Amino acid sequence: MSQNTSPQSNLTKMIGLDLLGVGRFHTILLICIFFSAICVVLATHNTRQMAVKRENLLLEKDILDGEWRNLILEESALAEHSRVQSRSVDELNMERPAPDKEVIIKLR
């Protein structure tokens, strides 16, 4: 008695035929379960990636808000009337005109 196939491959063949023949419904359910498990893993992974991205964007927003506040303060300091007046006198040698040299122009 010589056998062409080993007992291991014979068992695998029997299980395969049993799944395809008798347990067709169970095989389809098993495939659906694996597919849904993979979808759950992918959805969880994507959600975690988006949460990390959101946190990074919120941190970047906080940094930019601080920078914006500093720029507003700098702008208000540079545009202060006393500073503009002192720089115009010191650097440009400008003076306020005498009242008799002022010219008033009326627009209609």
* Per-residue pLDDT tens digits of the chain, which is 108 residues long: 445 557 777 888 888 888 778 878 888 898 999 999 999 999 999 999 999 999 999 999 999 999 999 999 999 888 888 888 888 888 888 888 888 888 888 888
- Token digits of residue 19: 């799944």
Q: What is the pLDDT of residue 5?
A: 59
Q: What is the pLDDT of residue 61?
A: 98
Tokens 């068992």 label which residue?
A: 11
Q: Where are the domains of the chain?
A: 14-92
Distance CA 73, CA 68 (A): 9
Distance CA 86, CA 88 (A): 5
Q: What is the pLDDT of residue 1?
A: 44
Q: What is the pLDDT of residue 4?
A: 57
What single DSSP character describes residue 100? G
